[in-house]
Amino acid sequence: MTPGRAEIHSVKLHFLSPVHIGTGEEMDPFSYVIRDHDLYLVDTGRWVAESPDTNLLEKTIASIGFAAVRTLIANQVDVKRYALGRIAVRSERLIQSYKKAIAQQDSRNQVLVNPMPRAAADGMAYIPGSSLKGAVRTALANAFVPSAGVRSEDARSRPDYNQKIFGGIQRDPMRHLKFRDIPLPSDATAVFEAREFALRPDKRPTPKGFFEAALGEIVTGKPVCYETTLALAPFDLHGKRVDLSFLISSLNSFYRPKFFEEEKKFYERDNQVLGATAGLEKRISAMKPREALVRVGHFSHVECVTLDDVRQPATRFVKGKRMPYGTTRTLAEGLYPFGWVILDFAGR
């Protein structure tokens, strides 16, 4: 059966926990300054061009080095004049690391921050609709593992199971599903330190760095909701009709168990983490019939980006043996899991 006419569904996005969508780029103190608990994105090019001493940077680099330029920028840039945007900083460790790097002019301390994508027109952060679509695609793929005949060896190669489930690029039915990008208000993101939380208390945590993330209600203490639209032309796949009801069911069947398994395996081991995530558990437990849980963005973890029953993540080899997976989580400030969002279709 050919796809039906595209249906436009209004979607409310309830951000439950911080969400970080990567850009593949990193910011350093040549492009930002921190004042108090705010990170300002600065136009250093314009600042240099408008400086009365046009050779200031060249002389600083020649006499002291690049690290001194960061100190120069930190101390002299007028953020009221040259700021392109402002991001709240939730990480005290970032603030201290930045102050130390500026004061000691230590070039080894790069103080890198991973930003969210930003619109070219106004510089505002946004959630790409393609990120939501990717989360939906994983849940739908998981629903068709048995009927598509996907095996463990297929799961080692994403093209193999994609081919079996969705067909080739020209036939891929996911082209009939599209989310609109979600622009975020200027105060909707903050910078967190991502910290590793391990099952083994003696495991030395792997440094993760600092990440800008959209705020969730377990951080703000109040609902965080945005709106988008889903364009979906229902289609047939392996003998089943993929419409909105099937999509909601597939999402909840895949992601809801992942949350409760993660809660039991990790969050309940630490009273601080359990307290910080209590609101998350309460909201997910009380989901309504036309709501669907998804996990979006970076730090979604292997269980939420691979397929059940055939999961074969490519972990590291140590002494000839592949290391186990699912033994750590990455939490914002060591407290908040990343990526949990509820899609609310009740407004249709």
Per-residue pLDDT tens digits for 168-219: 777 899 999 999 999 999 999 999 999 999 988 888 888 899 999 999 999 9
Q: Tell me: pLDDT of 75 over 60.
A: yes
Identify the CA nearest to 226 among candidates 182, 267, 287.
182
The full set of domain ranges for the chain reads 7-17+128-184+225-344, 32-111
> Burial code of 131-156, b = ≥16 C-beta within 10 A, e = fewer?
bbebbbbbbbbbbbbeebebeeebbe
Report residue 83's pLDDT band, with 50, 70 and 90 as the boundaries. very high
- DSSP at 220: H
Looking at residue 101, its pLDDT comes to 92
Lowest mean pLDDT among 29-33, 65-69, 252-256, 343-347: 65-69
What is the model's pTM? 0.93
Per-residue pLDDT tens digits for 285-299: 999 999 999 999 999
What whole-number distance in Å separates Cα of residue 211 and Cα of residue 242?
35
What whole-number distance in Å separates Cα of residue 110 and Cα of residue 156?
35
Per-residue pLDDT tens digits for 316-329: 666 666 667 788 99
Element (H, E) at 252: helix 244-265
What whole-number distance in Å separates Cα of residue 208 and Cα of residue 114?
10
Looking at residue 6, its pLDDT comes to 86
Q: Tell me: pLDDT of 148 over 60.
A: yes
Lowest mean pLDDT among 89-93, 120-124, 261-265, 322-326: 322-326
What whole-number distance in Å separates Cα of residue 213 and Cα of residue 94?
14
